[in-house]
Amino acid sequence: MEILEKKSILVTGGAGFIGHHLCRKLLEKDVNLTIYDNLSTGRIENVKDLPKPVKFVKGDVGNLETLENSVRQVDVIFHLAAQVSVPYSMENPVEDFKSNAYGTLNILELARKRDARVVYTSSAAVYGKPAKLPTPEDSPLKPISFYGLSKLVGEKYCNTYMEKYGLDASIMRIANAYGPRCRGVIADYITKIRKNPNKLEIIGSGMQSRDFVHVSDVVEALILLATSKEALGQTFNVGFGKTMTVVDLAKILLKMLKLEETVVTTTSKSWEGDLDIIWLDISKAREKLKWTPKTSIEEGLKNLINAERLL
Ligand SMILES: NC(=O)c1ccc[n+]([C@@H]2O[C@H](COP(=O)([O-])OP(=O)(O)OC[C@H]3O[C@@H](n4cnc5c(N)ncnc54)[C@H](O)[C@@H]3O)[C@@H](O)[C@H]2O)c1
């Protein structure tokens, strides 16, 4: 983290969930921070609520010219901007490609021109149906959604830029991040319970299993990917290293909220591209980066429920 002191940093997708927490952490140091985001799913409050004022540029990663104009000098780029919805990607593969694959190519081009180091946030979705559990980084990459495919294309571009141009980059495959301001299954549960605490409908069979990792642990790993020599040119899984069905997650959450009487139902069908299981092997990040996730799901949910800003 000391290495980042006085550095010029660009966070794409900084108005989003993980981006907000990353920027908060970066601002603990004296950094020159720019957030670049098209606010498609991100929120301007996530920028305004930061402890210090930062430069915010509203723009799309599909537009290289706006990107280039947003930062004259940049040392590190955390590339988080992405279309993140699997169902949306199945309905709109072209839009998904533009944000995730083409957008990443533009970021790499910017990094090449500015000689910046890049941290690219990929996803466990690149593995598709896992060949091995827990899934290590060298497992086959067979995405089953356009989202997983476009994130994988972004990875491939990162690898080729490293190989051909000597670009400094690292890739992080994130499992299921959660915490204050999150989206996804936990946000879905909380929104539904707020509307009607007597009933909770889970989309799908409820037996889909996920590897939930707290956003503070993800942020710590992101900083390590941007600062550690060991991370250069490498790809790391970042999860908690455990898996849990979404029905079990609902039970834990309801117990914490003292809502054990709530009726939990499931729908027979999930959405196209939904994975049965995510469970990442995180031993590479443990060994090479000395990173270890610290927040258990119980602690993380407690922290979320008590957060000033839940969603
Ligand atoms: N949250 C997770 O569990 C998870 C898991 C795996 C991977 N990831 C990856 O981590 C990154 C951050 O995810 P998040 O959960 O914070 O999602 P998020 O939706 O909260 O944040 C994404 C941000 O990117 C912005 N954005 C989207 N398309 C853009 C575009 N074309 N140009 C500029 N900005 C654009 C959105 O407005 C938003 O602020 C993404 O790259 C995502 O694929 C997240």
Q: Show the DSSP H helices in the chain as ranges.
A: 17-26, 45-48, 64-70, 86-91, 93-97, 103-114, 146-165, 185-195, 215-227, 246-256, 283-289, 297-305
Predicted confidence (pLDDT) at residue 299 exceeds the cutoff of 90: yes
**Helix 103-114 vs helix 146-165: angle between axes, to the nearest 10 degrees?**
20
Q: How far is CA 31 from the centre of its chain?
A: 22
Q: What tokens were used for 93?
A: 């593969």
Tens of pLDDT, residue by residue over 182-233, are 988 999 999 899 899 999 999 999 999 999 999 999 999 999 999 999 999 9
Q: Which residues form ligand 1's pocket by a CB distance below 6 Å?
A: 13, 15-19, 37-42, 60-62, 80-84, 99, 103, 121, 123, 151, 174, 176-177, 183-184
CA of 262 to the centre of ligand 1 (A): 32
Q: What pTM was computed for the model?
A: 0.97
Tens of pLDDT, residue by residue over 249-283, are 999 999 999 999 999 999 977 888 889 999 999 99
CA atoms within 13 A on the CB side of 230: 12
4: burial class by Cβ within 10 Å (0-12, 13-18, 19+)? buried
- Confidence at residue 95, expressed as pLDDT on a 0 to 100 scale: 98
What fold does the segment set 2-175+212-239 form as a domain? Rossmann fold (3.40.50)
CA of 198 to the centre of ligand 1 (A): 32
DSSP 62: T
Report which of 64, 63, 149, 164 is spatially closest to residue 101, judged by C-alpha positions: 149
Q: How far apart are the first and last CA of the chain?
A: 28
Alpha-carbon distance of 99 to 215, in angstroms, equals 23
DSSP 37: E
Catalytic residue among 102, 147, 161, 189: 147
- What residue segments make up the domains of the chain, in order of their start? 2-175+212-239
Tokens 């466990």 label which residue? 124
Alpha-carbon distance of 182 to 31, in angstroms, equals 25
Tokens 């899934």 label which residue? 135
